Amino acid sequence: MCWTFSPAVVPARRLGAAGFFLVFVMGFFSRLKSGLARTRVNLVGLFSGGVVDEEFFESLEETLIAADIGYKPTSVILQRLRDTVKLKGLKTREEVRAALRDEIERILLPAQKPMNLDAAKPLVIMMAGVNGAGKTTTIGKIAKWLAAQNKTVLLAAADTFRAAAREQLAVWGERNKIDVITQSGGDPAAVVFDAVSAGRARGTDVVIADTAGRLPTQTNLMEELARIRRSQGKAMEGAPHEVLLVVDGTNGQNALAQVKAFDQYAGLTGLIVTKLDGTAKGGVLVAITAEREEPLPIYFVGVGETIDDLQPFDAKRFASALVGEELEDN
């Protein structure tokens, strides 16, 4: 599965010549792992040998905080790790690494949930996020992923702020041979209304609405997002069925504030975290998930710029990749 090599070139370049070779021959898990290389690098150093003592725990704590796991989740993880070390009599750092992987996986697992593509027809998905988070790129990637599952897709170019945004979506649409609903007028609510109506009329499986980037502090734009959401409900009862926040993984802890604000205005149903290939802050997924008792599903993670660089989120794989363990590709 996923034996394409071109998509992996981007993270590979960042890893230098050795990384290039590695990525060239590797599959699914390795792509995630190479993507998380910058987050992982400090952890790998910690686990490369030595005794399990107080100094080790202190370095581990610093490293987890540096990976943007956050203070509170880090202290919970550390406490549980110390308990496990005592209880099970763990002696080696390698054993602690496995225990850490289990702790991270335990936190992330509730966020691992596949999107139910058959919840409605069309299933209407609205994308939201700050500028440059990766919304439009991710829509292209999801469209390809959906097409591979024989789902018909219609895109709504509701980022009406920038003409370039419409064109960018049109290019993604062309590449995937998918229609894009646009309007010369500037009202994003009207564009999504049209797109959902067209999706219903055509019997399309999935309608995905792109929206303009906005900051949580831009109250009028956040209110506009709520209006865009309502407009989809007018075209089809219950729509949008998914409201996804696209979060730039390099934003680190700021992602937490984004989740809160976008949820408040638009009622989020899930998350996509992008750019995990270029960040030392991959731990932010742990921070986001630990924040809520019932965490939002993380449907996908983005690990590169090309169309194949999107993976359904898998808690175990992510935790293993983060702590630098080996797992079989599949």
Ligand X SMILES: Nc1nc2c(ncn2[C@@H]2O[C@H](COP(=O)(O)OP(=O)(O)O)[C@@H](O)[C@H]2O)c(=O)[nH]1
Binding track, positions 4-43, relative to ligand X; x by CB under 6 A: ------x---------------------------------
Binding partner of residue 275 among ligand X, Mg ion, none, CB under 5 to 8 Å per kind? ligand X
Residues 275-294 that bind ligand X (CB under 6 A): 275, 277-278
Q: Using CB under 6 A, which of 30, 34, 42, 136 touches ligand X?
A: 136
Closer residue to Mg ion, CB minimum distance, 274 or 279: 274
Residues 6+ apart with CB under 8 A from 137: 172, 274, 302, 305
Distance in Å, CB of 310 to ligand X, minimum: 7
Q: Which amino acid is at 277?
A: D
Residues 6+ apart with CB under 8 A from 151: 117, 205, 206
Distance in Å, CB of 71 to ligand X, minimum: 26
Distance in Å, CB of 10 to ligand X, minimum: 6
| CA separation for the pair 57, 60 (Å, rounded) | 5
Q: Using CB under 6 A, which of 213, 240, 282, 283 touches ligand X?
A: 213
Pick the closest to residue 290 from 133, 105, 127 (CA basis). 105
Q: Which amino acid is at 293?
A: E
| CA separation for the pair 321, 181 (Å, rounded) | 39
Per CB under 5 A, does 182 bind Mg ion?
no
- One-letter-per-residue 3-state SS of 190-239: HHHHHHHHHHHHHCCCEEEEEECCCCCCCHHHHHHHHHHHHHHHHHCCCC
Please, how many CA atoms are within 13 Å of residue 20, restricted to the half-sphere of its CB? 4
Q: Using CB under 6 A, which of 194, 291, 305, 308 touches ligand X?
A: 305
Distance in Å, CB of 161 to ligand X, minimum: 10
Residues 6+ apart with CB under 8 A from 69: 77, 283, 284, 286, 287
Per CB under 6 A, does 135 bind ligand X?
yes
Per CB under 5 A, does 136 bind Mg ion?
yes
Per the CB < 8 A criterion, the answer to whether 321 and 33 are in contact is: yes
**Residue in the shown chain whose Cβ atom is closest to ligand X:** 302
Q: Which stretch binds ligand X (CB under 6 A): 18-26, 99-107, 128-136, 185-193?
A: 128-136
> How big is the site for ligand X, counted in residues (CB under 6 A)?
20
Q: Using CB under 6 A, which of 111, 133, 146, 225 touches ligand X?
A: 133
Which residues form the interface with ligand X (CB under 6 A)?
Answer: 10, 129, 131-137, 213, 246, 274-275, 277-278, 302-305, 309
Which residues form the interface with Mg ion (CB under 5 A)?
Answer: 135-136, 165
